[in-house]
Amino acid sequence: MKFFVNVIIKFILLILFALASGTSALPLKDAFKDNFQIGVALANRDIRNSRVTDIVNIEFNVVVAEFGMKMANVLPEQGIYNFTWTDEFFDFAKENGQVVVGHTLVWHKAIPDWFFLDAKGQKLKRDQLLLKLQRHINTYVGRYRGQVLGWDVVNEAFNYDGSFRNSPWLEIIGEDYIEKAFEFAHQADPNAELYYNDYGLVSPKKHASVVALVKRLKKKAIPIHAVGIQGHYSLTYPDLKALDKTIARFANLGVKVMITELDVSVLPFPGPEDRGEDAEINVARAQQLNPYPEQLSEEAMQQFTNRYRDLFRVFLKHSNSISRVTFWGLTDAHTWRNNWPIPGRADYPLLYDRALKPKPVVKALLELIEARDSYIHL
């Protein structure tokens, strides 16, 4: 009886919060429930911020750790794990009825240098690193066995030209390090979904390499359940027809597709001359590269809204293949895009503004799902 009372109280509080804060009348997770799950990435601070968690609990049914589950955070010292925050993250998700996607097991960043060295400081050999990786995955994935929807097993392993990204994993183990990581993850949690995740997958050569990877894993009967297409987009990138074809090609391989890390930058992308360590940007150029230091113009907000709407038209066209769309953050106040690739810039790529108020795009997405025949054709 007490459980049901608590559920009712929580439901009433969420409604009151929605009315007070201006969140959408119909939560995004409910609006899109017949199409795909709606997820959000959370930073370490977010699950301790009640204003953020109240919105998250209304709008989203999948949560991903933006940084907190990467190796450098859970394994800060050789052989010493720190699961304090990750345990808290899983408890938060369980308490609020969300599922967790683990991000990420193998990446070329956020890895302590000593992970690739032996006790004498010498570079590990192939078999040594494989054993170390297997033990790490057994420890990490095994701890949360049965508690995750799936894992981003390998993240960003290819360059735009389709070649393997240079990393200690590739240098020491070889190209099959990806296969081994998937094998180890499946052994550690046979019921977890396993994903490959990368950006720029509309690029033909990079796309072809990931297609070849999926085929190789499937031929060897190594489980891979989905490809994550990172959605770090802009008002002009990617071409919608190219995105449409990219999703279809992955779906034709017999794996699910996920749109991950979704955000839409409204800023002009700087050229190489603007980003060098010694680059000096004059006042006029700095203003061009940071056109909205305080807030978006009405015109830019409309362009932003239209862009998200067009992207979701593509996603909805492929809703039979797309299992999840995950936004890479909740609020513009704490997006990585504010300072990349030039420090100090203000960007506006997410659904909620710096005051945690929903932008017009939220209403636009809800209206889109109501007009069910509007996304059949691009």
Q: State the pTM of this model.
A: 0.91
CB neighbours of residue 21 within 10 Å? 16
Per-residue confidence (pLDDT) for residue 287, from 0 to 100? 80
Per-residue confidence (pLDDT) for residue 12, from 0 to 100? 54
Rounded distance, CA 326 to CA 30, Å? 15
What six digits make up the tokens of 253? Answer: 């391989």
pLDDT tens profile 359-374: 999 999 999 998 865 5
CB neighbours of residue 354 within 10 Å? 16
Catalytic residue set? 156, 261
Per-residue confidence (pLDDT) for residue 282, from 0 to 100? 76
Per-residue confidence (pLDDT) for residue 239, from 0 to 100? 97
Domains of the chain: 26-269+297-370 (3.20.20.80)
Per-residue confidence (pLDDT) for residue 273, from 0 to 100? 66
Which residues of the chain fall below pLDDT 50?
2-7, 9, 13, 17, 20-21
What six digits make up the tokens of 209? Answer: 């390499």
What is the full DSSP assignment across 122-143? PBPPHHHHHHHHHHHHHHHHHH
Rounded distance, CA 177 to CA 171, Å? 10
Omega prior to 326 cis, within 30 of 0: no
